[in-house]
Amino acid sequence: MRILAINGGSSSVKCRLDELSHAPSAPSTPLWQAHVESQQNLEDTLRSAPSPVDAVAHRIVESEKYRQTTRITPDVLAAIASGAEEAPAHNQFELRAIDVAKRIFGPAIPQVAVFDSSFHSTLAPEAYVYPGPYEWLDLGIRRYGFHGLSHQYSSRRAAELLGRDSLRLIVCHLGNGASLCAVRDAKSVDTTMGFSPLEGLMMGTRSGSIDPAILIYLIRHRGYTADRLDEILNRESGLLGVSGISGDMRDILNSDAPRAKLAFEIYAHRLCREIGAMAGVLGGADAIVFTGGIGENCPPLREIVAKRFEFLNAKILVIHAEEEWEMVRECYLLLSDVS
């Protein structure tokens, strides 16, 4: 079965084509792959994929109704659209990608939604219920968690590298978007992202968690609208907002500007604070795992974390992010089970 994965992230699109006859845990060399910075090039990119394509897998960030990998139907499309407000950069893109794939590969080709929050379906109520009015749950307001594909792959790979399944892991997915996951015995027990991908760590252009009273103040006294706050919190904050230079960690590290230095220091401080929280949930840690563009390629950040958490005696692992492979694997497991 030849499966094409389309992974639209917050800053780029990654595609991968694999041929599988079984579901190995680790990836082999793909038949074809592409990494496009501009989402506008998707159609040309997909047309360059070698034929045939037997199925297409899409990473879907947000859906209140669906959590597990499922074949895309009109009902699933409607659920993806309803989640676009909480994850606009991802779900709106994937809706377009589903339409483009249908035009290119034909309506008979199965398309599969792989939900980024499914790994976090094991969260207990004390981890996913917000301390607001309990009635919020009826409105679907709860912690869902994201980057599940990355956390799932990284925790499975860490278990393979360490040679045992019974582990307490703190997985740090650090890219333009960033989140931590506390993993006990291969299951997610807590995570920093919540109702949307905005909560938690400082990110490239997202603020992460801030005092909600700031938003109330800006609305009441500075005339800010919901749309303007959405723009600020998602696209004008984080590394970009503090440094005034860039949301790219490489630019931050290469700059001598005081605000760039401050942006890195805030990033490291908040990362360590959240790692400490995850260690508290787990009662310690056997390993701290770094993955994603920043996690894999920023030694100064890893050195700070390793030094701060020497007392945990945890191993420090760097694992290459394989979200597209995890999508291919999930798609294969679904379609081979139903075919």
Q: Residue written as tokens 């996951």?
A: 181
Tens of pLDDT, residues 137-181: 999 999 999 999 999 999 999 999 999 999 999 999 999 999 999
Neighbours of 272 (CB within 10 A): 16
The set of catalytic residues is: 116
pLDDT for the residue 85: 64
C-alpha angle 283/285/286, rounded to 5°? Answer: 135
Spatial contact of 111 and 73, defined as CB atoms under 8 Å apart:
no
Tens of pLDDT, residues 94-118: 888 999 999 999 999 999 999 989 9
Evaluate if residue 56 carries a pLDDT over 70. yes
Q: In what order do the strands lie in the sheet with 2-8?
A: 32-36, 13-19, 2-8, 55-60, 111-115, 70-71
CA distance 8 to 36: 9
CA distance 168 to 182: 7
Average per-residue pLDDT for the chain: 93
For the CA atoms of 256, 262, 266, 267, the dihedral, rounded to the nearest 10 degrees, stands at -20
Evaluate if residue 339 carries a pLDDT over 60. no
Q: Which of 73, 92, 6 is nearest to 43 (CA)?
A: 6
- Reduced to 3 states (helix: H, G, I; strand: E, B; else coil), residue 169 is strand
pLDDT bucket at 296, cuts 50 / 70 / 90 = very high
Q: Which of 186, 13, 171 is nearest to 101 (CA)?
A: 13
CATH 3.30.420.40 is the classification of domain 2-143: yes
How many residues does the structure list for the chain?
A: 339
Spatial contact of 233 and 206, defined as CB atoms under 8 Å apart:
yes
pLDDT for the residue 94: 85
Tens of pLDDT, residues 180-213: 999 999 999 999 999 999 999 999 999 999 999 9
Q: Which of 146, 147, 71 is nearest to 334 (CA)?
A: 71
Evaluate if residue 63 carries a pLDDT over 80. no
Q: Which phi and psi angles does 262 have, rounded to 5°? A: -65, -40
Spatial contact of 60 and 112, defined as CB atoms under 8 Å apart:
no
Evaluate if residue 290 carries a pLDDT over 80. yes
Evaluate if residue 246 carries a pLDDT over 90. yes
Take residue 168 and report the two structure tokens written for it: 């307490």
Signed CA dihedral, 81, 86, 87, 89: sign only: positive
Helix (H) / strand (E) element for 70: namely: strand 70-71
Evaluate if residue 82 carries a pLDDT over 90. no
CA of 258: how far to CAs of 22, 242, 261, in Å? Answer: 52, 10, 5
pLDDT for the residue 11: 63
Encoded amino acid at 296, one letter = E
Question: What average pLDDT does the segment 53-69 reach?
Answer: 86
pLDDT for the residue 288: 98
Q: Which of 117, 273, 115 is nearest to 194 (CA)?
A: 117
pLDDT for the residue 9: 65
Spatial contact of 147 and 116, defined as CB atoms under 8 Å apart:
yes
Q: Which of 23, 29, 56 is nearest to 45 (CA)?
A: 56
| CATH superfamily entry for domain 164-318 | ATPase, nucleotide binding domain (3.30.420.40)
Encoded amino acid at 100, one letter = V
Question: What average pLDDT does the segment 284-298 reach?
Answer: 98
- Segments of the chain assigned to CATH 3.30.420.40: 2-143, 164-318
- Reduced to 3 states (helix: H, G, I; strand: E, B; else coil), residue 174 is strand
Question: What average pLDDT does the segment 258-281 reach?
Answer: 98
Q: What percent of the chain has pLDDT over 90?
A: 83
CA distance 241 to 170: 27
Question: What average pLDDT does the segment 240-262 reach?
Answer: 98
